Amino acid sequence: MRALTGNQFTAEGTAMRTLSLIALLAGAVAAASLSGEQILDKMDGNRDHRTVTADARMEIHIGDEVRSKNMRIKGMTDGNRSIVEFTNPEDEGTKYLMLEDNLWIYFPQEQEVVRISGHMLKDGMMGSDVSYEDALEADQLRNKYDVSVVGEQTYNERPCYVLELNATTRDAPYYKRKMWVDKETFVAWKEEMFAKSGKLLKEATVLAADTIGGRHFPVKTKMEDKLRRNSHTIFEMTNVELDKPLDEDMFSMRYLRR
Amino acid sequence: MRILKRSSAATPLLCIVLAACTVAGQGLTFSGSMISDLMLLHNYRAEAGDEADFSGTGRLSLTFRNTNRRYGKVEGDLEVVTLYGVAAEAAAPESPAGFGALAANGAARLFSLGNAPVLLDLRRLYLEFYLPFADIAVGRQIVNFGKGFVFSPIDVFTAVDVFDLDLRRRGSDVATVRVPFGALSGLDATVELPVAGNRFSAAAKVFATLGAYDVSLVGIYRHPGEDQMAGREGVIGATFKGDAVVGLYGELVTRLVEGQRDIYPEAMIGVDYSIRNRWILRAEYLYSDYRWNERAWGEHNAFVSVQYIANDLLSLSANLLYDFEHDIALGTALARYNALQNVNLEAYVRGFSGITQLPYDFAYGVRAEVSF
């Protein structure tokens, strides 16, 4: 897997870069006429996987203080199912089970499963800037938003489409979103989320993306909750495996309590 | 010595587990924390005027579980507790029951270091194995049948310890079989291992998720054993938890006692809500018409709590528990600061009213916790 940051390719990727440029030129005409929906489809192509397993680390930055959480993630696209187990000592054994829009947490010390109420889904997960709602949201942007291409900009030396998404359903977590999507890799390098009042609520920045099985998969993301002062969360995934066979039984209450 | 008497098999089993860990050097994962509480207990209604006594605990909590849990699990929570000040004096064997029992919190005395008793609490120790059709667990476990944060009439095995600052539950010696019907549904059957006089309880819970609600039906049987004064008891109940603008949850329980013509209902309803990721509010109400045996709560009881999350490091909380019938109140105000990655500092004030085992009105305390 080669790491692509916003403005550099590794030395080993020179040949890939050349091929990418050729593909970029060959597709330039077609790319210029892409609609917002088509761009979203290509973004979804990067996430077109049946399963994902990964180790992850969440660094919560509060001023000069840093708190970290380590976890093991297993997810299945079908049914929007995932299970997360924390492995850092302070949260050892705590698990999350996400099924569609429902979330349960297992606390091993109390052997207790707690269903997270809907109003708490907007809270930060484990004290981070990433809300449960952000974590639950799957590839549903087209189902909840109208999307249009409002321009093109360069972001971190990468040519990008600028998309504007406006909510079409009441359960969309953000009223409006703005995305800077790489014209070549269709990675959304930057995203801004807005309230109905126009107030900027959150900003997500992809710091690194890996090429896995021909897909450009964001593996390091920075999330800032603009309502929290001087705070941001960096979420990094390692040992990412896509389409690895997973037992569907693990996304269940039974497995959660094991 | 209650803990050790009730589970005499636990001690050798624990020794075996720890010895195996020591010899093998792997196979078990350990985590835990060391918590120190220092308190000033204040009695402002003493006949001689204000009285204040020093108290405290040091608690080493050790949690272990096997690393490879694909086919089965061994898990335990062991706590070594030292008591200071009046808590140490009250927990002395010759001290009367009441405050001493609260101070010891069910732990068993191991030995004394000078004036400080050292207690051992085996909170959990159980094994679990996974058959294709069911998971089976035997040993000391925490059994959660209900949905309540504090009140849970359906939790006959392990109730919340309201004197515990963290509102933890104690373990029960049970055997549990969990049969899944689907991803979110199944049957949990639990039987308490018989104690002195062959008294035991058995329960079955069928649960499922319907829409945005988790629901369950519960049936419980309590056998009095050799206690001639008590009758057999049957309990049926239902629980739910879901969303209705606010988080909503509840339990409804009916008790039928042998030899009694009446049925005794109990009901709990609770709501929770959060505002702007800053305020978390919770309220619970318990109605209990359980007149047969000695009961923990009065007829009408309430619990309210509010938490303010100032930022990711600092939170403030307050809660109040009130038994209207017996005019008993227990309130706590607490500030918690995550000083370092694995270090938490807390300062708290607790108020007590109408609690006869506790000869104090207030407790002012500080707590330091280091996790590992």
DSSP state of B48: T
Predicted confidence (pLDDT) at residue B124 exceeds the cutoff of 70: yes
Rounded to the nearest 5 degrees, what angle is found at the Cα of A252, between the Cα atoms of A250 and A253? 130
**CA-based Rg of chain B, rounded to a whole angstrom?**
22
Task: Compute the average pLDDT of residues B145-161.
Answer: 87
Show Cβ contacts of residue A5 under 8 Å, excluding neighbours closer than 6 positions: A156, A207, A208, A209
B209 touches chain A (CB under 8 A): yes
Confidence of residue B18 (pLDDT cuts 50, 70, 90): low
What is the C-alpha separation between A146 and A167, in angstroms, rounded?
6
Are A238 and A54 in contact by the 8 Å Cβ rule? The answer is yes
User: Phi, psi (5° rounding) for residue A132?
Assistant: -60, -35
- Short-list B296, B240, B286, CA closest to B265: B286
Please check the confidence at residue B272 and state whether its pLDDT lies above 70.
yes
Nearest CA in chain A to B278: A123
Question: For residue B280, what pLDDT is reported?
Answer: 93
Task: Measure the CA–CA gap between B79 and B60, rounded to whole angstroms.
Answer: 5
Helices (H), A106-210: 132-136, 141-144
The shortest CB-CB distance from B142 to any of A62, A67, A111 is to A111
Residue A85 to residue B237: CA distance in whole angstroms: 32
pLDDT tens column, B55-90: 999 999 999 999 888 899 999 999 999 988 888 887
Per-residue tokens: A10:
């590794």
Q: What residue in A sits closest to B159 (Cα-Cα)?
A: A110
User: The dihedral of CA A160, A166, A168, A171: what is its sign?
Assistant: positive
Length of chain A: 258
Cβ distance of B135 and A258 shorter than 8 Å = yes
CA distance B226 to chain A (A): 32
Put simply, the answer to whether B277 touches A124 (Cβ < 8 Å) is yes
Read off the tokens for A228: 């929290």
ipTM (interface pTM): 0.86
Which residue among A93, A99, A117 sits closest to B243, beta carbon to beta carbon?
Answer: A117
| Pick from B99, B161, B109, B116: nearest CA to B2 | B109
Question: HEC profile for A25-84?
Answer: HHCHHHHHCCCHHHHHHHHHHHCCCCEEEEEEEEEEEECCEEEEEEEEEEEECCCCEEEE
When mean pLDDT is compared across A176-185, A236-245, B45-54, B57-66, the lowest value belongs to B45-54
Cβ of B262: how many Cβ atoms within 10 Å?
11
Alpha carbon separation from A112 to B87, B122, B193 (Å, rounded):
30, 18, 21
Q: Is B144 on the interface with A (CB under 8 A)?
A: yes
* Segment A25-63, tens digit of pLDDT: 333 334 456 888 888 888 877 777 889 899 999 999 988
Structure tokens at A9: 């390719």
pLDDT for position B14: 54
Q: Are A249 and A81 in contact (CB under 8 A)?
A: no
Tell me how far apart the terminal alpha carbons of chain A are, to the nearest angstrom: 33
B92: buried, middle or exposed (CB in 10 Å: 19+, 13-18, 0-12)?
middle
Two tokens at A122? 């907007």
**A228: which chain B residues are within 8 Å (Cβ-Cβ)?**
311-312
Q: Do the Cβ atoms of A254 and A97 come closer than 8 Å?
A: no
Contacts of B212 in chain A (CB under 8 A): 102, 118
The answer to whether the CB atoms of A231 and B29 lie below 8 A apart is no
* Cα–Cα distance, B125 to B129 (Å, whole number): 14
* Chain A nearest C-alpha distance from B16 (Å): 22
Cα A16 vs. chain centroid, distance in angstroms?
25
Residue A118 CB coordination number (10 Å): 20
User: What is the length of chain B?
Assistant: 372
Beta-ladder partners of A61: A66, A232
The mean pLDDT value of chain B amounts to 85
> pLDDT per residue over A101-146, tens digit each?
788 999 999 999 998 876 666 555 556 666 655 554 545 677 788 9
Question: Would you tell me which residues 248-267 of chain B have a C-beta closer than 8 angstroms to some C-beta of chain A?
Answer: none
Of the two residues B3 and B220, the one the predictor is more confident about is B220
Nearest CB partner across the interface for B312, out of A62, A68, A249: A62
User: Taking a contact as any Cβ pair under 8 Å apart, which residues of chain B between 267 and 326 contact chain A?
Assistant: 272-274, 276-277, 280, 311-313
Q: pLDDT tens digits for B154-213?
A: 888 888 888 899 999 888 999 999 999 999 999 999 999 887 777 888 999 999 999 889
**Using the beta-carbon criterion (under 8 Å), do B342 and A123 form an inter-chain contact?**
no
Sign of CA dihedral A53, A11, A155, A30: negative
Distance of CA B103 to the CA centre of its chain: 15
The answer to whether residue A6 scores a pLDDT higher than 50 is: no
Q: How far is B211 from chain A (nearest CA, A)?
A: 10
CA dihedral B214, A120, A235, A113 (to 10 degrees): -30
Question: Model confidence over A187-221: pLDDT tens digits?
Answer: 999 999 998 899 998 899 999 999 988 888 889 99
**Among all chains, which residue has been given the structure tokens 């049926």?**
B236
Look at residue B95 and tell me whether its pLDDT is greater than 70. no
Work out the pLDDT band at A164, boundaries 50, 70, 90: very high
CB pair distance less than 8 Å for B169 and A110: yes
Task: Using alpha carbons, list the distances in angstroms from residue B94 to A44, A247, B88, B213.
Answer: 71, 57, 12, 51
| Assigned token pair, B70 | 């694909």
Between CA B46 and CA B252 the distance in angstroms is 42
A110, A242, B63 from B17: Cα distances, Å: 21, 38, 12
Cα separation, A175 vs A196, in Å, equals 5
**Cβ contact A92–B277 (<8 Å):** no
3-state secondary structure of B151: coil
Measured between beta carbons, the chain B residues lying within 8 angstroms of A69 are: none
**Inter-chain contact A68–B63, Cβ cutoff 8 Å?**
no
Contacts of B277 in chain A (CB under 8 A): 122-124, 131, 227
- Please tell me the pTM assigned to this model: 0.83
For residue B159, CA distances in Å to B1, B336, B366 come to 21, 25, 26
A4-24 average pLDDT score: 37
For an interface test with A, the pick among B241, B312, B345 (most A C-beta atoms closer than 10 Å) comes out as: B312
**pLDDT above 60: residue B142:** yes
Question: Which residues on neighbouring strands pair with residue B334, listed in sequence order?
Answer: B317, B348
B181 inside 8 A of chain A by CB:
no
Helix (H) or strand (E) holding A146: strand A145-155
| C-alpha gyration radius of chain A | 19
Residues of chain A contacting residue B214, judged by C-beta atoms under 8 Å apart: 115
Q: What is the pLDDT of residue B102?
A: 54
pLDDT > 60? residue B107? yes
Please tell me the distance from the alpha carbon of residue B220 to that of residue B77, in angstroms, as a whole number: 27
Closest CA to A36 of A142, A159, A119, A125: A142
Q: What one-character-per-residue DSSP string does B201-241 give?
A: EEEEEEEEEETTEEEEEEEEEEE-TT-TT---EEEEEEEEE
Q: pLDDT category, A174, cuts 50, 70, 90?
A: confident
Looking at this protein, which amino acid is placed at residue B4? L
Q: How far apart are CA B138 and CA B126, in angstroms?
A: 5
